[in-house]
Amino acid sequence: MNRRQFLQASSTAALALSAFPGYAAEFADQKKRVGLIGTGWYGKCDLLRLIQVAPVEVVSLCDVDKKMLADAADLVATRQISKKKPRTYSDYRELLKAKDLDLVLIATPDHWHALPMIEACQAGMDIYVQKPIGVDVVECQAMLAAARKYNRVVQVGTQRRSTPHLIEARDRFIKEGKLGNIAYVEICCYYHMRNKDTLATAPDTQPPENLDYEMWTGPAPMRPYNKIVHPRSWRAFNEYGNGIVGDMCIHMLDMVRWMMDLGWPRSVSSSGGILVDKAARANISDTQTAAFDFDKVKVVWTHRTWGSSPDPKYPWAAIFYGDKGTLKASVNSYDFIPNGKGETIHADQVMELEQFPEDKTEKDLEKHVAPAIRGHMKDLLRNIATRGKPVADIEQGYISSASSILANLSMQLGRSLEWDPIKGQVVNDDEANKLLRRSYRAPWVHPEVAKV
């Protein structure tokens, strides 16, 4: 290469880098080779935020929906610095077999988290995995065991821990003792998010040609296909996840645990069911409460996918009650309300749209969440560099995921469950312990802690 060619190449690289003003000096040399398994809504949201904070090269993508996969490859090629189109795979095992990745993101439906994550650990890759980490407790335990055995850095997609205004609320009010003694926390979701399709509006049909429905189903029970299943509405069915508790409760429970530095709940109890929308095909609860007993503080969840929210400003939130004040916190804002004299202190989320103008036009992006995902990715990269534990380390993901799953098991069994975190079992309840693992559909084999 002569001097003119060198200067032209340097100029081109500088122009490319200048298009990504979000790069901080500490990430400028983080040229990780990255793969994504699950190229749907949040898979793309996560990956594109990573591209914004570090000059990574997206090498490969995997999805069982050919159209979704091709569209994602085209999009990534427009957003990464190299402008290269990633290789595409329909089977995650082939993607991992190439062994040319430093980091893999897993954003499949929940029933497909455990096996790719464990195999990525075995292949020597660091991991970003969406929440909840698994659909049953034993899956979660095996994932933690694999991360530790193979010394992998694993960040879980519970990005409330990296949300700027929530970090501020934790530091300013909880850590400084402005609430006093916090003995009770309400967590809730009143979004009308449960799928309402009936047999008439969503009959069973043949899956579309672009979808490998056999592979999509994987280890889950085989159900007849209907349009609810794919894309994005699969949470309507317990076969693939843990309903609204496994989707929304885990976020708020994890946020409370992080803000208050809580470990495992001593016991979990839950009740609810399908109380209103009995015509829908969805088999998850439309109404549910769950109590998580942390001894000194009780954390109580409520979701209701009908009716109105008690506080329209905080329909998905945590409300911390202390003897000196109350803190309301959500993805959008916080309000600190002191007892007695004193004014309410309010703050809103910051969207960072001017720093990252591509956020303004990105399809389906939750713009208010994008800064948290970027912060989560930065934290992951820092800990990959130091081989430390990220803010949403796999063990924290295990605790919050398993606690949420236990809530559903409590509702199913109709009794409170006392948890032994050392044994990883429900105390004196053989029936409940049998439910800590789901049956896998052949030929898929359920992971075991001792065999990862």
DSSP characters over 249-267: IHHHHHHHHHHHT----SE
What sign has the CA pseudo-torsion 154, 158, 159, 163? negative
Q: Answer yes or no: are the C-beta atoms of 159 and 376 closer than 8 Å.
A: yes
pLDDT score at 442: 98
pLDDT score at 15: 40
Superfamily of domain 161-363+395-427: Dihydrodipicolinate Reductase; domain 2 (3.30.360.10)
pLDDT score at 228: 98
Q: Answer yes or no: are the C-beta atoms of 351 and 359 closer than 8 Å.
A: yes
**Mean pLDDT, contiguous 10-residue spans, the chain (452 residues):** 41 42 75 97 97 97 98 98 97 96 98 98 98 98 98 98 98 98 98 98 98 98 97 96 98 98 98 98 98 98 98 98 98 97 95 96 96 98 98 98 98 98 98 98 98 98
pLDDT score at 2: 42
The ranges assigned to domains in the chain are: 161-363+395-427
Provide the whole-model pTM: 0.94
Count of alpha carbons within 13 angstroms of residue 370, beta-carbon side: 27
| DSSP classification of residue 89 | E
Residues linked to residue 88 through DSSP beta bridges, in sequence order: 61
Residues linked to residue 149 through DSSP beta bridges, in sequence order: none
pLDDT score at 29: 81
H helices within 343-393, ranges in order?
Answer: 370-386
What sign has the CA pseudo-torsion 425, 426, 432, 435? negative
Q: Say how many residues make up the chain.
A: 452
- Dihedral of CA atoms 166, 172, 178, 179 in degrees, nearest 10, equals 10
